[in-house]
Structure 1
Amino acid sequence: MERIVDIATDGRHLSAHRGHLIVSEGHEEVGRVPLDDVGAVIVHAHGVTWTTNLVVALAERGAILLLCGAHHSPVAICLPIAGHHAQNGRMRAQWEARRPLAKQLWRALVIAKIGWQGAVIAAAGGSAAPYAFMARRVGSGDPENVEAQAARRYWGELMGAGFRRDRDAGGANGLLNYGYAVMRATCARAVVAAGLHPSVGVHHANRGNPLALADDLIEPFRPLVDWLTMRLLGAGVVEVTPAAKRAYAGLIALDLPGEDGTTTVWQAATRAAATLARAFQSGQASDLMLPRPPAALDLAALPVPVPA
């Protein structure tokens, strides 16, 4: 299982030494992680420095360096140039994918996301039926914007009628921002490992977005972050504390029930990215394999890493 390394203390220095990521303060080592175990390094703190050798070592292993700004929102990312052994062919297929294929892929992602939203609401004591109905209405490219319709209902049911999703706010929104940053880094890592370019999306197409494809792929995984956030809020965690960060970092190791047996969130993201690459090459959206929503009881029983 690859690890998400979070740097949240100001003034730390990051370097590579004998196969390890070394974290130092002053001239004293305060932590180390084997580089081969690192999937992503997320930097939230100020005054953090790092060596070129470390960035090169991370890139050689396909790991990423993600920098966050205010309220834990990602602002920059360092990605490896060379990734999967079949990268050239896969990127060419990705770039040349026709619009009908992209629209079918987006439809599959939206359906999966809405299904997961229904599972979260059901696990919280509501009904998943309206979400199943909305998922059936999603057309190619989601021309009716059913995703937004589901989101309006979902946030009201999950967080209350007065809640508004705000990337620049703290509290519950800050927790969501941090959780999404972790999941976004996970999806970006999976996309790069699959030999795809993260800036070429199937739906997200902002030219200034270096992680457009990761922002597509993250959609079915967002409700897992929402579910953990609700568990944290229920446990009295209302800010992004060290305990909350550990909980979100542990989310990628969470076991999910699937058609082929139990798999972790990280493995599900990796499979989704690999099958997305296959879909680009085959021209068949049906090749894309996304994590299916669990039953409400299965989701409620997941050992979510909520701090005591």
Structure 2
Amino acid sequence: MTGVAVERIVDIATEGRHLSASRGFLVVSADRQEVGRIPLDDVAAVIVHAHGVTWTTSLLVALAERGAVMVLCGSNHAPVALCLPLDGHHAQNARLRAQWQAGRPLVKQLWRRVVVAKIRWQAAVLAAFGRPADGFDLLARQVASGDTGNVEAQAARRYWPLLMGPDFRRDRQAPDANALLNYGYTVMRSLCARAVVAAGLHPSIGIHHANRTNAFALADDLVEPFRPLVDALTLRLLDRGVTEVTPVAKHAYAGLIAVDLPGPAGTTTATLAAMRAAQSLATAFTLGQADSLELPLPPTAAVLADLDGLLP
């Protein structure tokens, strides 16, 4: 694990809070009295869960100028809206053009790499918890361009019962473990959305996710290999008796952005891994080469065991 994360996830879960910017700080107030502040330069994302929260335009501008994002969540802790900066990388225009004009063969090969990485991550998480991971390597090798055989879904049908038990069903609207997963995925999704914008790419132009109502399609593509990291922490929380999205759980999930992960160029934090993935994706679009995409390698059991350091 790293020491102290430079960037932070700020979660607003208390009703009636007011958010503003003042002299380089994000200021949280209640009944016109300040209750907390954090340097704006330290903020990676602001996640708003509570109702009745207000904020100033100057705060949104200050966050955007620093490349930070604001995420608005529904009652199930899943994101429903995201405020992203318009200005990204200095080569944004060229990268957006390359992203928009990317041919189907390239896009399908990119998605194949994402699915293979996700399945290998799932296998690593299962093995770390002593669950049988037999067959996942074979599934990863069976992923075709564009995952036309829907191997991702086949892996998911094996993965969830092995990890969470035979009665578990992944349901975004369900409570307990599903709500925990929703929250954890929101943290990682906001991280990937920020990385995508910083790389000069548009978050709504995905390589696989293409729902017309999804403004974060590319972030949803890029987050896939990171999801098993959330799954692993969720299982550790459940083992500790944490079954709801409590402050303890939120603090643990926020710490995921600083977890050390193996990568093609050596060990790096999850934040830098997401940035590297987005930057390499921009390169892949520009060069037309899918193998330019760099995704984090499957973690070792020791790396996943270090998640205990995020728990109280």
- Give the TM bin, normalised by the shorter chain: over 0.9
**Distance in 2 between residues matched to 1:92 and 1:45, nearest whole Å:** 38
**Distance in 2 between residues matched to 1:305 and 1:183, nearest whole Å:** 18
Cα displacement (A) at 1:260? 2.9
Cα displacement (A) at 1:3? 1.4
**Distance in 2 between residues matched to 1:171 and 1:294, nearest whole Å:** 26
**Distance in 2 between residues matched to 1:112 and 1:63, nearest whole Å:** 27
Aligned alpha-carbon RMSD (Å): 1.1
Aligned residues: 307
Q: Equivalent residue of 1:40, what SS?
A: strand
**Distance in 1 between residues matched to 2:117 and 2:164, nearest whole Å:** 21
Q: Equivalent residue of 2:67, what SS?
A: coil
CA contact (8 A) 1:23 1:29 kept: yes
Of residues 94, 98, 102, the one that matches 2:103 is 98
Question: C-alpha offsets along residues 246-276 of structure 1, whole Å, 9 cap, x if unaligned?
Answer: 0000011111233433211111001000000
Cα displacement (A) at 1:130? 1.2
Q: Identify the residue that residue 10 of structure 2 maps to in structure 1.
A: 5
In the alignment, is residue 298 of structure 1 matched against residue 302 of structure 2? yes
In the alignment, is residue 124 of structure 1 matched against residue 141 of structure 2? no
Of residues 85, 90, 98, the one that matches 2:90 is 85
**Distance in 2 between residues matched to 1:39 and 1:128, nearest whole Å:** 34
Cα displacement (A) at 1:2? 1.9
Question: C-alpha offsets along residues 54-79 of structure 1, whole Å, 9 cap, x if unaligned?
Answer: 01111111111110012101011111
CA contact (8 A) 2:263 2:295 kept: no
**Distance in 2 between residues matched to 1:226 and 1:136, nearest whole Å:** 23
Q: Identify the residue that residue 48 of structure 1 maps to in structure 2.
A: 53
Note the residue ranges of structure 2 that are not aligned, 5 or more in a row.
1-5
CA contact (8 A) 1:251 1:305 kept: no
**Distance in 1 between residues matched to 2:309 and 2:259, nearest whole Å:** 8
Of residues 143, 149, 154, the one that matches 2:148 is 143
Q: Identify the residue that residue 171 of structure 1 maps to in structure 2.
A: 176
**Distance in 1 between residues matched to 2:205 and 2:44, nearest whole Å:** 21
**Distance in 2 between residues matched to 1:247 and 1:254, nearest whole Å:** 11
Question: C-alpha offsets along residues 149-190 of structure 1, whole Å, 9 cap, x if unaligned?
Answer: 000000010011111111111100000000001110000000
Cα displacement (A) at 1:306? 4.0
CA contact (8 A) 1:123 1:299 kept: no
Q: Identify the residue that residue 24 of structure 1 maps to in structure 2.
A: 29
Q: Identify the residue that residue 38 of structure 1 maps to in structure 2.
A: 43
In the alignment, is residue 219 of structure 1 matched against residue 224 of structure 2? yes
CA contact (8 A) 2:132 2:162 kept: no
Cα displacement (A) at 1:81? 1.0
**Distance in 1 between residues matched to 2:213 and 2:200, nearest whole Å:** 21
Q: Identify the residue that residue 108 of structure 1 maps to in structure 2.
A: 113
CA contact (8 A) 1:255 1:262 kept: yes
Identity of aligned residues (%): 68
Q: Equivalent residue of 1:72, what SS?
A: coil
Of residues 40, 57, 67, the one that matches 1:62 is 67
Q: Identify the residue that residue 3 of structure 2 maps to in structure 1.
A: none
Aligned partner letter, 1:4:
I
**Distance in 2 between residues matched to 1:304 and 1:209, nearest whole Å:** 34
CA contact (8 A) 2:181 2:230 kept: yes
Q: Equivalent residue of 1:66, what SS?
A: strand
Aligned partner letter, 1:173:
N
Aligned partner letter, 2:73:
C
Q: Identify the residue that residue 200 of structure 2 maps to in structure 1.
A: 195
Q: Equivalent residue of 2:38, what SS?
A: strand
Aligned partner letter, 1:307:
L
